[in-house]
Amino acid sequence: MKVLVADDDIVIQSLLKNILTDWNYHVLLAKDGLQALQLAEDNPDLQLFIVDWSMPWLDGLAFCQKVKKRDRFAYFIMISGRSGTDNLVAAMDQGVDDFIVKPLVAEELRVRLRVGKKIIEQERRLSYLAQYDELTGIWNRRMVLQWLQNEWIRSQREKTCLSILFIDLDHFKQINDVYGHLVGDEVLRHFCTTVSQQLRPYDYFGRYGGEEFILVLPNTEIQGADVVAERIRKVVQENPLKLDAQRKLSYTVSIGLTVKSAEDTDVKSLIQRADAATYQAKQQGRNRVATLITE
């Protein structure tokens, strides 16, 4: 893991580099706040910082504030000759996560770094779960609906088309009943991987719930959306899940398609119409695309 050491004291720099290298950290060194800021910009994956409070050009607190605006998960350990509760509180109020008074004690620093790494990992995990479906890795319901709302607003402003697909795996309960829920989970992951390979970079694909999925197609007329829907239906049917060397599990999907119209007042009407189209596809025999549009 990378760690940035920012301190204008060459002795402290050398000491920390040797210690951190022995602990298998990849160490970046900065002699002042501006150099530290440049290193942070050049290394967007850098999230662990050991920073002196008093540095030329840009002090540790100002540097911390600038980095935190870019990356709220960045973890800062402030080192300083300033002691006392007032200094500790002042640093924490400005976004510093931990505070060590010089002279440094190596084992104390090791423990504090370990805590910092755990906090970064936990925050990354929580951030991931807030946006993505844990099982399939695609957008979760909250995020795909948020993207749909954003695209709705954009289509209103720019007078562009907006289509959505509602996709439902056919007979998914039977798959769970016959093969078990673990295989059912594999089917969902396999389906999401298969569909994701068919999409444009600016399409939004998310899990609505259970075996139901939404695909948001910005700037797409109904003819183009129908081509996408039929391509997805076909590629899912033709690419079964491989269970083992001898067995494959085939499955199909029913897809409901609709496009935003002038009569729609919000995204809710769009979702309801796509859902109704999916129900039609199922009623018509499944493994097909059904389209509903307003007159």
Cis peptide before 103 (omega within 30 of 0): yes
**What is the CATH class of 2-131?**
alpha beta
Closest CA relative to residue 216, chosen from 286, 288, 141: 141
Task: Tell me the domain boundaries of the chain.
Answer: 2-131, 141-291
Long-range contact pairs involving 98-104 (C-beta distance under 8 Å, separation at least 24): 102/12, 104/12, 104/15, 104/16, 104/79
Of 9 and 186, more confident: 186
Spatial contact of 67 and 49, defined as CB atoms under 8 Å apart: yes
Average pLDDT of the chain? 90
- pLDDT at res. 223: 95
Q: Does 38 or 206 have the greater pLDDT score? A: 206
Task: Copy the structure tokens of residue 183.
Answer: 């295989």
Q: Give the pLDDT score at 124.
A: 83
Average pLDDT over residues 167-183: 96
Query: Phi then psi for 162, rounded to 5 degrees?
Result: -145, 120
- In this structure, the dihedral spanned by the alpha carbons of residues 269, 273, 276 and 281, taken in order and rounded to 10 degrees, is -160
**Active site amino acids:** 211
Q: Which distant-in-sequence residues (6+ apart) come within 8 Å of 133 by Cβ?
A: 139, 140, 141, 206, 207
pLDDT number for residue 78? 84
pLDDT at 229: 97
**Closest Cα partner for 258 from 280, 286, 291?**
291
Domain 141-291 is found in CATH 3.30.420.40: no
DSSP string, 37-69: HHHHHH-TT--EEEEESS-SSS-HHHHHHHHHH
Please write the tens of the pLDDT for every residue from 138-160.
999 999 999 999 999 999 999 99
Instruction: Region of 224 please: left (phi>0), alpha (psi -120 to 50) or beta.
Output: alpha
